[in-house]
Amino acid sequence: MNGKTKALLSAGCAAVSGAINGMLGAGGGILLVVALDIIYGGENDSFKKAVSGTLAVTLCMSVAAAVIYLVKGNVKLSDAYIYLIPSALGGIAGAKILEKINAKWLCRIFSVLVVFAGARMIF
Amino acid sequence: MIVDILVGFFSAILAAMGVGGGGLLVVYLTVFKNVSQLTAQGINLIYFLPSASISVFSRRKKLFSDWKTVLVMCLTGTAASVAASLFVGHISAKILKVIFGALLVFAGVYQFAKSLKKSDAKESKEEKKRKMRLR
């Protein structure tokens, strides 16, 4: 797969992921990780690449969605205050783990949580 | 309050690792804190931002090497997300959720099976061959 094809496919998958996120509120990121892993070739480092790419996209989508939620009044910023510092600290720890962890184990943790998330959606 | 902080911390670790925690915070908020689903989703969105920003920032060099693709993905993803939420609305799509949930379960099992085949090597065999050829 050449670079242009990869870029186009990635953009398409991101759009689908975004649409799912917009409709259901969550879940698009999971399919995007799986799709990007396939596009990047399923190599040992491709899973981490897929995860990083998805995080970047999900971050952008979440900013947009958060703004919409705040403007619509579905949530107040003060509701989330208590979680902000733990989030930052967790982010630092998580980023370090992401760097060091074996891709195989990252994939397994991911898979288990995906099944859990899917089951929650069904029931 | 300590529990809030601990739950936030551990779900943020998972979020930064890209595994999302399966919406653990949303479950915690709706089940244990009696927060409404919509507000819980809103809190989840806001709390995700510091964790994800730090993770993306720490991976910036790897992402930057392919920045055009990442940028295009961010733009298409965000545009699709906003369009879907504005025009389609949050369809009380129980059926949509069930179908998507089933897809996720399938994706999770498939991904797990794939991971069983992955080797522990940092480089793939092809990478090693390529490096040998270049010597």
The pLDDT value given to residue A74 = 83
**CB atoms A83 and B105 under 8 Å:** no
**pLDDT digits 0-9 by tens, A25-40:** 677 888 899 889 888 8
Instruction: Report ipTM (2 d.p.).
Output: 0.84
- For residue B49, the distance in angstroms to the closest alpha carbon of chain A comes to 7
**pLDDT digits 0-9 by tens, B91-124:** 556 777 787 788 888 888 888 888 887 665 555 5
**CB atoms A21 and B22 under 8 Å:** no
**CB atoms B119 and A63 under 8 Å:** no
Which of A64-78, A87-101, B32-46, B79-93 shows the lowest per-residue confidence on average (mean pLDDT)? Answer: B79-93
**Percentage of residues in chain A having pLDDT higher than 90:** 33
The pLDDT value given to residue B79 = 93
| A19 alpha-carbon distance from chain centroid | 14
Torsion of CA B103, B106, B111, B114, to 10 degrees: -140
- What Cα–Cα distance (Å) separates residue B84 from each residue in A9, A65, B12? 20, 11, 26
**CB atoms B101 and A14 under 8 Å:** no
Quickly state the pLDDT bin for A41 (edges 50, 70, 90): confident
Among candidate residues A22, A20, A55, A30, the one with its CA nearest the CA of residue A118: A30
**pLDDT digits 0-9 by tens, B17-57:** 888 765 788 889 988 999 988 888 888 889 999 999 999 99
| B71 alpha-carbon distance from chain centroid | 17
- For residue B26, the distance in angstroms to the closest alpha carbon of chain A comes to 11
| Averaged confidence pLDDT in chain A | 87
3-state secondary structure of B93: coil
Cross-chain CB nearest to B108 (options A80, A102, A115): A115
Phi, psi of B124 (to 5 degrees): -80, 170
**CB atoms B100 and A20 under 8 Å:** yes
Cross-chain CB nearest to B107 (options A16, A31, A53): A31
Residue of chain A whose alpha carbon sits nearest to that of B2 = A82
- What Cα–Cα distance (Å) separates residue B135 from each residue in B60, B122, B123, B124, B131? 30, 19, 17, 17, 7
- Taking 60 as the threshold, does the pLDDT of residue B61 lie above it? yes
On whether the CB atoms of residues A117 and B19 are closer than 8 A, the answer is: no
Among candidate residues B119, B65, B22, the one with its CA nearest the CA of residue A115: B22
Give mean pLDDT, residues A13-17.
Answer: 92
Quickly state the pLDDT bin for B8 (edges 50, 70, 90): very high
Q: Give chain B positions within 8 Å (CB) of A70.
A: 42, 46
Quickly state the pLDDT bin for A114 (edges 50, 70, 90): confident
**CB atoms A111 and B112 under 8 Å:** yes
**CB atoms A59 and B52 under 8 Å:** yes
Which of A11-15, A119-123, B14-18 shows the lowest per-residue confidence on average (mean pLDDT)? Answer: A119-123
Element (H, E) at A81: helix A77-100
Quickly state the pLDDT bin for B90 (edges 50, 70, 90): low
